[in-house]
Every structure is written in structure tokens, then in C-alpha cells.
Amino acid sequence: MAAHVTYCVGGLSLCNSIADTFAEKSPVIVISGAPGMDERRSNPLLHHRVRDFNTPREVFEKITVASAALEDPLTAFREIDRCLESAARYKRPVYLELPRDHVHSVCPYDHVPKIETFTSDADALRESLAEAKRAINACKTPVIIAGVEMHRFGLADDVVRFAETNSIPMCATLLGKSVVSEKHPLYLGIYEGAMCRDSLRKYVEESDCLIMPGAFLTDIDMGNFTANLDPGKCIDSTSESTRISHHHFHDIVVSEFVRGLGDLKLKVPRRPMLARPKGTEARFVLNAVCEPRSARSRRGKS
């Protein structure tokens, strides 16, 4: 998604929305116009300028993951690549500022757009998955808490397949709502610490293995920090970090970790499902063994 705005007053009016996309991990490309470089030489009093010509970029630096003022054709094209890569990798907004006398600038060298492929450190990924496998195989009451990044990185189906294959109950964070269909037989509801119903809170917090892909432990997702989750029982992977119990693993791509979980051969005990409150559409059964999503799709077409 991209937002095109006029210089300063137009861009600054967008700040609240862009700060929100940063907090909720939505990649938005902000492209702002700017006075031409030649116009700035005499420091003119432009009616839409605030303080100085750098003000918009300095403001957006605080609420984006990357920013660039495209003032020099020699570096502009690499700066565009850098910002777009950051948006793709971190699923957060970036800011590009284009002076109006550089709109038709041509790169002074043969520029090939950089296509970055993000891959995990192979050893770190292998060891993290091995440790996750040991933790899951040793547990008795696993629960998945799916977070917002499963939306952002297109991993919702991978998480659901992992849960279905191993019959692991699932819930979601508030920001991760709809990662799992509310009608899914393994779905428990929204976990939000003291803000969720007591039976769900107890069911989740008594788990001896919490698998939390893409979940950020923010105040809103953790019920104003009323959640009582033991870090020593958590398998936690996001775009920013991967942690299993108290062990931290670096340079791991969250999509590779989540899909790696789905490839593990696990021996997961089946846990009795939590009773669904009356009046809801989803039906939960004891020791549910779920039909894979692909099978349900085929049946629906027949």
C-alpha cells in the first residue's frame, strides 16, 4: 500500500495514521513531494514549510522503519531499494521524500533494483526447531497463541495446518483476531489475560507449552499486562526475535521457523478442548481430531 501526499502539511496530517501502521505492523509506503533542491538555496519562506526543509523527514523517522530524502540521483535509487526492503522485511511503514525538480531524474549508472532474499542462519534455524521439537514432545497441554504477524506474513494457513496435524488447541491475540476462523473446531477464542473469560485464561495459563507464532506481548494483547505466561514454557517467534524458554536465537526468519514447525514429526498428546460458551456457532468436541483444511475444501466443491 502506498500513500502519496503533498509536502509538509499534507505529510504531517498523515502522522497519526502512519504511527498506527507502525504499531500494528502494516507496511505502507509514504511518498511525499518536496520543494526542489534549487528552490532551497535562498531559503525561501514557503507557506507550507514548518521550521526548516528537514522537518517532515525528521518527524517521519520516528514513526517509520526506514526513511530517505531522494535529493541525490547518485544514491536515490539505492535508497528506494533500502526502504522497500525494510517495509517487506519488517511489515512496517517507510517514508520517501521526492523533491519536485528530481521527479524526472535519471540514474547516472546502470541500476538494477535489488531483490533481497531473507534467509535464516541455517545452524540457528536447525537448533531452534530441534529445541522446539523437544519442548513440544515433552509437554502434556500445548496451546497455540497466534499473533498479528501471521496475518502480515501470510502464515495463517501454515499455523492452522500445524495445529490440525497435531490437534493442538488454538487461540489468538486481539491484534491477531481472525488468524484462525472462529468456527474452527480447535479455536478457543481471544486470549487477553484478565480481559478474556476466566475459563479461557485458566486453560491457556495452565499450559505447559505455549506456542506463540507472530505474537507481540503488548499491553493490548496481554490484557494491560495481566497475562500470566511463564517465559520458560513459551516458544515465541516473530520477525524481530525467536525465543524458546530462556534461549534466544538470532537471524531467524519467522516464516521459515513457522513452516519448519509444520514439518516436524511430533508426538503431541491430545488435550480435552475447552467448552465453548453457549450461543456461539463453533462446536468443540473432546479430543478433537480435525479434518485438514484441504480436505474440507475438496468436500465443499463436490
Residue 39: which pLDDT band, with cuts at 50, 70 and 90? confident
> What fold characterizes domain 122-301?
Rossmann fold (3.40.50)
pLDDT tens-digit map of 246-260: 999 999 999 999 999
Q: What whole-number percentage of the chain has pLDDT above 90? A: 64
More confident residue, 116 or 3: 3
Average pLDDT over residues 35-46: 76
Nearest to 87 by CA among 107, 110, 111, 68: 68
* pTM beyond cutoff 0.85: no
User: What cell does 197 get?
Assistant: 473469560
In one-letter notation, the amino acid at residue 70 is L
Give the tens place of pLDDT for each residue, 247-295. 999 999 999 999 999 999 999 888 788 877 765 444 433 333 444 444 4
List, in sequence order, every residue forming a beta bridge with 244; answer none if it has no partner.
235, 247
DSSP characters over 38-57: GGGGG----TT--SSTTHHH
pLDDT digits (tens, 9 = 90+) for 90-125: 899 999 999 988 999 888 988 888 777 789 999 999
The tens digit of pLDDT for each residue in 142-180 reads 999 999 999 999 999 999 999 999 999 999 999 899 899
Are 2-102 and 122-301 equal in CATH topology?
yes
The predicted structure's pLDDT at residue 278: 66
Q: Output the CA–CA distances (angstroms, integers) from residue 197 to 210, 222, 262, 273, in the order listed.
A: 18, 13, 30, 15
Check residue 279 and give its pLDDT: 55
Tell me how long the chain is: 302
Q: Domain spans of the chain?
A: 2-102, 122-301
The CATH architecture assigned to 2-102 reads 3-Layer(aba) Sandwich (3.40)
The predicted-structure confidence for 182-223, as pLDDT tens digits, reads as follows: 999 999 999 999 999 999 999 999 999 999 999 988 888 888
